[in-house]
């Protein structure tokens, strides 16, 4: 390090040292391991490239860069999108064309085919899967992205390693040091005690939380799949080494690191082993470690839980944890609304999110690599006469196309006949009816399906936070049923929506006479509107409006004299609405046409972004809209 860099590192370290030491000693009470950690932080800070050090300084000067309405993401599988890392680099012009400036690379670290869980069973945290490239290729990709203003996100699997990881191999061979890095028990009574209180993640495809290893005569904790062994964060060695892996990957040019399955990482006998206080201690330490070594890198928390358990992962304004969290509940509530055509629950969910401090930023999405789980607010639904188990069955049937009126084509994932629980798979296009309309050659149905696809995305873009597209959704790509012929995938219906990007369809992106062209251009226009209008900023006031019709959702946004009211029709019928507190002319940002919000007609499955320039005084009447 230069003298200037050393001074800067020490300043960053001193800012957090007392709290970091206190939290570390609270968990581990091990001064030697803490000293080792601090020494390694300096090493990783020194090893950051000159370009990344400059990026750190720029983003320290603009610490809320990720809250900008200029940010738009896309989640993609490297092999499905472009073959390998170098292929992704060559496809950056396409990514720019979409308007995306954040790419979330799905798991690419080394794993073993047939025991990978889509890449979430990591065999080596410091090696790329050979068919995807090398760490040098990764650094070349991130550098090329940065030159084009594109940010890069990756997954960091914290809860477990693959059984093929070197730690696991040594543990299985009986090395006590490495056995202590996992949860090994020769006595079955302890796993049996855990099973009394710990829910099963995959009760049908991977029942139980332990796997018996006959070759070494022990049970090992495996919350997800038998080949994914849970790490024991009671060991300071585990924490330190995983932080070194985190920093190694940050130094390859990451801008955002998604911490996978974070609620599960601390285990305590007699509890459900979810969201325990020690989890928040670890995430807070991780946040500080990042701010010391790589302050341009932000943490995205994957917390697939009900809202009351999600929000704590932001930490507090004074002691923050994750910078961003997935807006899981709004996503699944959106699909509930698509099936029921009843916006009441969605409005309630949006009101909850909008009431949170503006420092809390969500990543919003419609579809991702995973299934849709029906973690809805059933207490609210019960007030409206809707029971949980029958409703889950209705949703499962609807999205498989088994209910009259449904145009959806999805498949179940991990269905549990005993509880009635089931999750849902499928692309946005297939769930909106594009697949069915195309198969039947029904142009009128295709028009409705494309409109609904764009309306759902427009509603998602209207939410505060970072919008994230799922690769293929930009060209209305439908389900890929070829996974059924692959023995490594056939048992996992999530591969239904994990197909290769159809570049022949992508070639139609500029052709508005095709469904893929209409969707591509529609999303491109929506993204541009979001980036170019201040009311989409995270600093804006946001509220929902009463439409007087459960089939309609309306969202208001205001900032700096700009008011935008988004209106979204979740039904197959034209609707009419009046907003009595919003007089004067509005301009629909999507079409450019002018309207008044009295007797406004919204097409079936259609939407508007109604804009009105206002003085601050007139905008203060906003609460009357709600």
CATH number of 541-625: 3.40.50.300, 2.60.40.1180, 3.20.20.70, 3.60.20.10? Answer: 2.60.40.1180
Sheet holding 210-213, edge to edge: 184-185, 218-221, 210-213
Q: Taking a C-beta distance cutoff of 8 angstroms, is the pair 463, 403 a contact?
A: no
Q: Which whole number is the average pLDDT over 162-180?
A: 98
302 a catalytic residue? yes
The C-alpha atoms of residue 317 and residue 375 are separated, in whole angstroms, by 27
Domain boundaries, the chain: 349-532, 541-625
Q: How large is the average pLDDT for residues 86-95?
A: 98
Q: How many CB atoms lie within 10 A of CB 615?
A: 8
Say which of 155, 260, 453, 611 is annotated catalytic. 260
Give the number of other CB atoms < 10 A from CB of residue 62: 11
Phi, psi of 156 (to 5 degrees): -120, 110
CA quadruple 240, 246, 252, 255: dihedral, nearest 10: -140
pLDDT tens by residue, 498-535: 999 999 999 999 999 999 999 999 999 999 999 999 99
Overall average pLDDT of the 11-21 stretch: 98
| Residue range 254-313, pLDDT digits in tens | 999 999 999 999 999 999 999 999 999 999 999 999 999 999 999 999 988 776 788 999
For residue range 460-482, list pLDDT tens digits in order: 999 999 999 999 999 999 999 99
The packing angle between helices 31-47 and 236-250, to 10°, is 10
Active site residue 260: yes
* Same CATH fold assignment for domains 349-532 and 541-625: no
Indicate the average pLDDT of the chain.
Answer: 95
Answer yes or no: is pLDDT of 617 > 60. no
45-51: long-range pairs with CB below 8 Å, 24+: 45/1, 45/5, 45/9, 45/12, 45/292, 45/293, 45/294, 46/1, 46/5, 46/9, 47/251, 48/251, 48/293, 48/294, 49/251, 49/253, 51/143, 51/146
Residue 224 and residue 215 in contact, taking contact as beta carbons nearer than 8 Å: no
Q: What are the backbone angles phi and psi of residue 334, rounded to the nearest 5°?
A: -60, -45
349-532: CATH topology: TIM Barrel (3.20.20)
pLDDT class of 317 with cuts at 50, 70, 90: confident
pLDDT digits (tens, 9 = 90+) for 24-38: 999 999 999 999 999
Residue 241: pLDDT over 70: yes
List of residues 6+ apart from 152 with CB closer than 8 A: 102, 103, 105, 141, 142, 145, 146, 253, 254, 255, 256
**Average pLDDT over every residue of 222-239:** 98
pLDDT of residue 624: 45
599: left (phi over 0), alpha (psi -120 to 50) or beta: left
Q: What is the pLDDT of residues 48-65, one digit of tens each?
A: 999 999 999 999 999 999
**Residue 317: φ, ψ to 5°:** -60, -35
Catalytic residue among 79, 84, 230, 302: 302
What average pLDDT does this structure show over 237-260? 98
Report angle CA 594, 596, 598 to the nearest 5 degrees: 150
Strand pairing category for 324-326 and 361-365: parallel
Alpha-carbon span 167 to 163, nearest angstrom: 8
Compute the C-alpha angle 347/349/353, nearest 5°. Answer: 115
Burial classification of residue 378, based on how many CB atoms lie within 10 Å of its CB (0-12 exposed, 13-18 middle, 19 or more buried):
middle
| Number of alpha carbons in the 13 Å side-chain half-sphere of residue 415 | 14
How does residue 616 score in pLDDT terms, banded at 50, 70 and 90?
Answer: low
- CA–chain centroid gap for 358, Å, is 19
Cβ atoms of 337 and 455 within 8 Å: the answer is no
Q: Are strands 552-559 and 541-545 parallel, antiparallel or unpaired?
A: antiparallel
Within 13 Å and on the Cβ side, how many CA atoms surround 427? 27
Query: Which residues are paired to 210 by β-bridges?
Result: 221
Helix and strand counts by DSSP (H, E) for the chain: 23, 25
Q: How much is the average pLDDT of 358-384?
A: 93
Confidence of residue 626 (pLDDT cuts 50, 70, 90): very low
Which tokens in the block code for residue 66? 């990720």
Token pair of 604 as six digits: 């079936």
**Chain-centre distance for alpha carbon 48:** 27
Token readout for 166 is 């070197």
Angle between helix 344-354 and 328-340 (nearest 10)? 160
Predicted TM-score of the model (pTM): 0.95
* Residue (of 587, 557, 554) closest to 455 by Cα position: 554
Q: Is the dihedral of CA 454, 455, 460, 466 positive or negative?
A: positive
**Which structure tokens are listed for 488?**
């490594």
Measure CA of the first residue to CA of the last residue in the chain; give whole Å.
56
């Amino acid at each position: 390090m230069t003298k200037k860099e050393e001074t800067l590192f020490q300043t960053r370290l001193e800012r957090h040292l007392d709290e970091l030491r206190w939290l570390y000693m609270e968990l581990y009470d091990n001064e030697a391991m803490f000293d080792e950690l601090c020494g390694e932080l300096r090493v990783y800070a020194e090893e950051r490239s000159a370009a990344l050090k400059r990026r750190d300084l720029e983003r320290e000067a603009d610490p809320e860069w990720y809250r900008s309405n200029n940010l738009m993401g896309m989640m993609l599988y490297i092999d499905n999108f472009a073959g390998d890392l170098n292929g992704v680099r060559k496809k950056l012009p396409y990514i720019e064309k979409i308007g995306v400036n954040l790419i979330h690379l799905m798991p690419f670290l080394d794993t073993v085919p047939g025991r990978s869980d889509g890449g979430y069973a990591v065999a080596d945290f410091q090696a790329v899967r050979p068919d995807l490239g090398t760490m040098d290729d990764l650094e070349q990709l991130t550098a090329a992205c940065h030159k084009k203003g594109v940010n890069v996100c990756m997954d960091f699997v914290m809860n477990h390693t693959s059984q093929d990881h070197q730690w696991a191999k040594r543990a299985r061979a009986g090395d006590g040091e490495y056995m202590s890095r996992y949860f090994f028990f020769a006595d079955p009574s302890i796993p049996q005690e855990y099973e009394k209180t710990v829910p099963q993640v995959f009760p049908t495809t991977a029942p139980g939380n332990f796997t018996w290893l006959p070759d070494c005569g022990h049970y090992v904790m495996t919350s997800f799949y038998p080949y994914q062994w849970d790490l024991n964060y009671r060991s300071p060695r585990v924490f330190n080494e995983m932080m070194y892996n985190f920093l190694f990957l940050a130094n390859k040019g990451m801008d955002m690191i998604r911490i996978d399955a974070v609620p599960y990482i601390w285990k305590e006998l007699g509890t459900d082993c979810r969201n325990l206080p020690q989890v928040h201690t670890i995430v807070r330490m991780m946040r500080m470690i990042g701010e010391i070594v790589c302050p341009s890198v932000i943490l995205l928390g994957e917390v697939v839980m009900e809202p009351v358990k999600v929000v704590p992962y932001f930490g507090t304004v004074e002691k923050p944890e994750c910078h961003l969290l997935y807006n899981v509940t709004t996503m699944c509530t959106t699909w509930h609304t698509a099936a029921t055509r009843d916006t009441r629950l969605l409005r309630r969910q949006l009101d909850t999110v909008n009431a949170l401090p503006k420092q809390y930023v969500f990543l919003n999405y419609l579809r991702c690599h995973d299934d849709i789980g029906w973690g809805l607010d059933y207490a609210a639904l019960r007030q409206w006469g809707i029971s949980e188990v029958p409703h889950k069955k209705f949703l499962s049937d609807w999205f498989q196309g088994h209910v009259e009126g449904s145009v959806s084509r999805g498949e179940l994932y991990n269905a549990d006949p005993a509880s009635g629980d089931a999750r849902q798979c499928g692309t946005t296009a297939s769930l909106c009816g594009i697949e069915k309309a195309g198969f039947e050659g029904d142009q009128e149905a295709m028009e409705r399906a494309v409109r609904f696809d764009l309306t759902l995305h427009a509603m998602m873009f209207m939410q505060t936070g970072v919008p994230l597209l799922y690769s293929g959704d930009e060209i209305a790509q439908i389900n890929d049923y070829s996974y059924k012929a692959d023995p490594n995938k056939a048992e996992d219906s999530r591969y239904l929506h994990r197909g290769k990007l159809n570049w022949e369809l992508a070639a139609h992106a500029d052709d508005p006479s095709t469904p893929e062209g209409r969707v591509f251009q529609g999303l491109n226009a929506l993204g541009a509107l979001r980036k170019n209008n201040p009311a989409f900023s995270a600093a804006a006031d946001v509220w929902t409006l009463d439409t007087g019709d459960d089939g309609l959702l309306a969202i208001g946004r205001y900032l700096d004299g700009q008011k935008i009211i988004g209106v979204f029709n979740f039904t197959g019928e034209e609707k009419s609405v009046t907003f009595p507190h919003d007089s004067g002319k509005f301009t629909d940002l999507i079409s450019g046409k002018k309207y008044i919000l009295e007797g406004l007609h919204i097409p079936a499955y259609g939407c508007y972004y109604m804009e009105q320039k206002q003085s601050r005084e007139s905008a203060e009447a906003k609460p009357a809209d709600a």
